[in-house]
Amino acid sequence: MTPTSASPPVRVMGVINVTPDSFSDGGRFDDLTSAILQARRLIAEGVDILDIGGESTRPGAAPVGEDQELDRVIPLIRAIRAESAIPISVDTMTPAVARAAVEAGATMWNDVSALRHAPDSLAVAADLGCEVVLMHMQGEPGTMQTEPHYDDVVGEVAAFLTARAEAAQAAGVARERIWLDPGVGFGKHMTRHNLPLLAGLDRIVALGFPVLLGVSRKSFISAIDGGNVPADQRLGGSIAGALVGAAAGVAAVRVHDVRETVQALKVWRAIAAARAPAV
């Protein structure tokens, strides 16, 4: 997709994991003070949305109890909201955490289970009236990378997301509040599934909902680049993925490196707009 001066810029969602074990920033922001400083830093770097998570979803991560998840995310959301109007998303599969987060000032529920994790997820999302991200995942976080299988990964992800968007609307979630996310790395073979999915992103965008894309620092970048690249050295691949998303028309990218991504998207947009015919 070639942007014009009229197309909205791709938004940048900055990740803050208040966890000891997230795959790339685990342990860095798991006390309130360092998490608040990181939020301020990402805001200064031009972030559009902050995504706050209190439970790692990496394969094999230990599940976290509801009370612990609340203790991790709610004070941070409150503290950010006390000093900024920045949109805040909460990355959780637990309806009670989403509810408390929205009460504390979050505006979006980012659910990697696409509102399937708890029996009341759909009803709570409808009741909260916030924006909701429905993400595709094959299997459960603990085991999803064991043997993922697809006959047609783009078609199956698109069909799943369509069905979840329909279920959300049937439960009372307003259509204009629904976002879709293809779930790169969630129950997908490193290259055989993630790469065709990224190459076919335009088909997910064509479903007609804003699309959020998360490729930042993910393992497939290391797999392509020799197989042994630590998470904090995957910036080049992360930016390549963000630009592929931008070209396919995603509405937002979920990233750890905000400043660099904001700059890459600005440059991409300026060049692409210069190529568009004058109107």
Residues that bind ligand HH2 (CB under 6 A): 15, 17, 19, 22-24, 53, 56-58, 91, 110, 112, 133, 135, 181, 183-184, 212, 214, 254
Task: Name the DSSP letter for residue 10.
Answer: P
Given the complex with ligand HH2, which of 259 and 272 has the nearer CB atom? Answer: 259
192 is catalytic: no
Determine the Cα–Cα distance for residues 185 and 205; give it in Å rounded to an integer. 18
Given the complex with ligand HH2, which of 157 and 184 has the nearer CB atom? Answer: 184
Q: Which of 99, 234, 254, 269 is catalytic?
A: 254
CB of 184 to ligand HH2, least distance (A): 6
User: Are 5 and 273 spatial neighbours (Cβ–Cβ below 8 Å)?
Assistant: yes
> Reduced to 3 states, what is the DSSP secondary structure of residue 167?
helix
Strands 108-111 and 88-91: parallel
How big is the chain by its Cα radius of gyration, in Å? 18
Given the complex with ligand HH2, which of 116 and 273 has the nearer CB atom? Answer: 116
- Residue whose C-alpha is closest to residue 102's, from 117, 86, 88, 122: 88
User: Are 217 and 223 spatial neighbours (Cβ–Cβ below 8 Å)?
Assistant: no
Given the complex with ligand HH2, which of 212 and 239 has the nearer CB atom? Answer: 212
266 is catalytic: no
Q: Which of 28, 72, 177, 218 is catalytic?
A: 218
List the catalytic residues.
Answer: 218, 254
